[in-house]
Amino acid sequence: MAMNRIQFQPGLSLPAFLEQFGTEAQCEAALEKERWPQGFRCPRCGQAEHCVLGAKFRKTFQCQECRLQTSLIAGTLFQCTHLALTIWFLAIYLVSQAKTGWSALALKRLLGVSYPTASLVQHKLMQAMAERDAQYTLNGKVHVDDAYLGGELAGGKAGRGSENKVPFVAAVSLNAEGHPVYVKMAPVPAFTRKAIGDWAKADLSPGCQVFSDGLACFAGVTDAGCQHQPTIVGTRKPKDLPEFRWINTILGNLKTSLGGAYHAFDFAKYGTRYLAAFAYRFNRRFHLETLPMHLLAAAVAIGPRPESWLRLAEESC
């Protein structure tokens, strides 16, 4: 069964991880290999000849041609960090291996850093996950559903959900056998045709066959060049319909994840990032063992995302 293949895969054990990435030198070597698989190249002039400076704290390369100095972490998600790379790598390991995610409070204890630092590390890694998955769109047969963060989902304040209730769209692409392939989850301003059309343009490939429970706004996917096939639910609830089995299972997993690991957070501010991090993990659920290296690659590729940048991104959500 598909779910057992996920649950029983070996993953990467903590001892195996620490054997590979337990020292600063090992983490530096892994980061250097990820940044420059063919060896260092000067980012300004492309010269390979270099010498290494200041190995005391952070490895820095000096180009023999133009003398430009490039730190190992400059231009990556780790730029300007005062944390040891071993802490970052451990955070990458924890965040990538945990099906249900970690709260910043749990990360604080596990990493041995302050709460603000744990929270910042977590948000930077979630941002790397979000930006990596934003490069892809769903194809083919796609089931969509409307849901709320903070509504039925755990984490909302009982009876006072409205001020922390954020509408979002959940979508899953299915293969020919009807099994889930990839998911996308994104907050929307409201369940309107325009909002769904805008979402579909970003997250779906034109030509997708979109199946919904018939909520009128989902006709908006046709504005993105997709076909819409509503299922009239009538008096039955969508969860009772076999065709919506996977989207309901995935929303159930999300509920567990949010309830178990994060508890309540500011859904309007951070919803995009939390949902994208959940989708990122789901989309790589068969590759637990290599997931830390994939997340490292995403962290190198994304570039610096300082706290001020993250805050601006949160405000524009």
Residues that bind Zn ion (CB under 5 A): 42, 44-45, 47, 63, 65-66, 68
Query: In whole angstroms, what is the distance from residue 191 CA to residue 213 CA?
Result: 13
What are the structure tokens assigned to 246, written together? 């996977």
Three-class secondary structure of residue 151 per DSSP: coil
| Closest alpha carbon to 170 in 62, 235, 247 | 247
Q: What is the nearest approach in angstroms of Zn ion to the Cβ of residue 68?
A: 5
CB nearer to Zn ion: pick between 48 and 55 = 48
In whole angstroms, what separates CA 315 from the centre of its chain?
19
CB nearer to Zn ion: pick between 72 and 293 = 72
Q: In this structure, are residues 75 and 65 in contact, taking their beta carbons and an 8 Å threshold?
A: no
CB nearer to Zn ion: pick between 69 and 175 = 69
CB nearer to Zn ion: pick between 74 and 106 = 74
Q: What is the nearest approach in angstroms of Zn ion to the Cβ of residue 75?
A: 14
Three-class secondary structure of residue 181 per DSSP: strand
Q: What is the nearest approach in angstroms of Zn ion to the Cβ of residue 297?
A: 24
Q: What is the nearest approach in angstroms of Zn ion to the Cβ of residue 47?
A: 5
Q: What is the nearest approach in angstroms of Zn ion to the Cβ of residue 43?
A: 8
Q: How far is the first Cα of the chain from the last one, in angstroms, to the nearest whole number?
A: 38
| Closest alpha carbon to 199 in 88, 275, 126 | 275
Q: What is the nearest approach in angstroms of Zn ion to the Cβ of residue 79?
A: 19
Residues 182, 185, 186: CA angle, nearest 5 degrees: 145
If you search the block for the tokens 């005062």, which residue do you land on? 82
Q: In this structure, are residues 161 and 150 in contact, taking their beta carbons and an 8 Å threshold?
A: yes
If you search the block for the tokens 């570039």, which residue do you land on? 303
CB nearer to Zn ion: pick between 74 and 288 = 74
CB nearer to Zn ion: pick between 50 and 284 = 50
